[in-house]
Structure 1
Amino acid sequence: MTIELVVDGAIATINLSNPAKHNSLTADAVSLFIRHLDTLRTDPAVRVLIVTNREGKTFCAGASLQQMLDGSMSGELFSTLTNSLATLPIPTIAMLNGNAYGGGAELALCCDFRFGTPGMRLFVPPARIGLCYPLDGIKRLVRNLGNTFAKRLLIAGEEFNGQQLYELGYLTHLLAPEDLESATSDFAQTIAGLAPLAVQAMKQLCDQITHHQLDPEAAAELIATCNASPDLQEGLQAVNEKRTPVFRGK
């Protein structure tokens, strides 16, 4: 299976496992990926998602170029995947255990956090092959990385290493290769132990502000729901009793 979903308690992992093809995504793989995301949307027990590559030197090479050529893969289908990942209610972490190319760079950018290593490489090649990148992807690159960095990726086709990606704000965390998996796991465990209603509400509000879609009345209602929840009472009581809170997400 090229796209594998594993759920371990409150943490889910989606593994890209097609190293022979640099974890490029066929139309079938994209559809399976989307189905996995739909499954996670309806599982209240899952609080964090990690997206990573099981093996090989490449995190993801984006959409299958062969299928782009024969018409079985389209930019619209790939955008359906990236939009689904970007709008997942729970926090998401991309663990880039290798290089990222083309749509693979955008796939990781859809996650809330990106963990990588100094030696990894990233570039987006559409200008090298005569392809105009999908509009949704261009918007995401400009919005999240800024116009100048997006142009360096898309128009100039520049290649960046992990240290540069961290300094430019693409990577949120830069780790030695031997520390990457443990640091990502620890980070996911930390988030999984936080109050899920508050975490998901603040993720939603941050994204709405970024997209200039904030509805103040809806935001106030969302905040009030969190502040009236048993989780807040549990959190306050845990502080008073000097213990670790146990949040229920209700």
Structure 2
Amino acid sequence: MIELTKDDDLWVAKINRPDKANSLTHEMLTQLAEIAEAAQDARALILTGEGKVFSAGADLEEARAGLATSDVWERLSGAIAALPGLSIAALNGTLAGGAMGMALACDIRIAVPGAKFFYPVMKLGFLPQPSDPGRMRALIGPARTKLILMGGQKILAEEAYAFGLIDRIVEGDVLEAAREIAADTAAAKPEIAAGIKAMC
């Protein structure tokens, strides 16, 4: 349910479980973490989804059985954050729950106009993954982070862009837009790209 394609040094990992709103099982999260860990030599990694939803977060049955508090979420977001190359979340639709962590860990987030963003972890009786509030706060500030995590608000793409939660709203093919953004990094000397990322 995770599809990986490699175009030279550009890797694309696609969540492909559209019949379940791309909700994530432990197996899928482990696959994503393994891809991110293996992508240390890739120039760029793009995360995207199949269908109209990027991911609804954890598979509810597995969440109740312990997935909601598993360390696999932190393993995944930590591996993405540690990449020396460029990481892009190409959000083909709504981003919800724990799936927010992998997008927050990316260098760049782009989304289609109809995307919604929400993280109803408090309502479900769980804490967010440890690194997620800090990464969200760094992007949008503490008050707006509380608006999402404590106020339970669904943020539309336009508002998410105004907040700084996403970096661009893309009309059309969001994956192709991500490929275009990654093209210069993929073509550059890896030490130059990694050096620029470290300087940023």
Calculate the TM-score normalised by the size of structure 1. 0.75
Distance 1:191 1:100 in 2: 26
Does 1:188 pair with 2:198?
A: no
Q: Is the 8 A contact 2:89 2:108 kept in 1?
A: yes
Q: Residues 1-250 of structure 1: matches in 2 within 5 Å?
A: 2-41=1-40, 43=41, 46-53=42-49, 55-72=50-67, 74-176=69-171, 178-206=172-200
The one-letter code matched in structure 2 to 1:38 is: E
> Structure 1 residues 10, 63: CA separation in 2 closer, same or farther (over 3 Å shift)?
same
Which AA in structure 2 matches 1:48? A
Per-residue displacement from partner, 1:78-132 (whole Å, max 9, x unpaired)? 1111111111111111100111001222221111011112211111111222222
CA positional deviation for 1:72: 5.0
How many angstroms apart in 1 are the aligned matches of 2:67 and 2:150? 26
When you count strand as a share of all residues, which structure comes out higher?
A: 2
Segments of structure 2 that go 5 or more residues without pairing to the other structure are none
- Report SS of the residue matched to 1:127: coil
Change (3 A) 1:198 1:58: same
Q: Which has the higher helix share?
A: 1
Q: CA RMSD in A?
A: 1.7
Shift of 1:179: 4.3
The 2-side partners of 1:72 and 1:60 are apart by: 15
| 3-state secondary structure, aligned to 1:130 | coil
SS of residue paired to 2:137: helix
Deviation at 1:73, TM superposition (A): 5.3
Runs of 4+ in 1 over 4 A off after TM superposition: none
Q: Work out the CA distance in 2 between the residues paired with 1:167 and 1:73.
A: 29
- How far did residue 134 of structure 1 move? 2.4
Question: Any idea what SS the aligned residue of 2:179 has?
Answer: helix
Amino acid at match of 1:195: K
Structure 1 CA distance for aligned equivalents of residues 135 and 59 of structure 2: 20
**Distance in 2 of aligned mates of 1:94 and 1:35:** 17
CA contact (8 A) 1:27 1:73 kept: no
Q: Distance in 1 between matches of 2:174 and 2:28?
A: 25
Encode CA deviations 1:204-247: one digit per residue, 9 max, x unaligned. Answer: 343xxxxxxxxxxxxxxxxxxxxxxxxxxxxxxxxxxxxxxxxx
The answer as to whether partners of 1:47 and 1:90 remain within 8 angstroms in 2 is yes
Residue 135 of structure 1 aligns to a residue in which SS?
coil
What percent identity do the matched residue pairs reach? 29
In the alignment, structure 1 segments of 5+ residues that lack a partner are 207-250
Larger Rg: 1
Q: CA deviation at 1:15?
A: 0.7
Deviations 1:128-164 (A, max 9, x none): 2222212222222223321111101100011111111
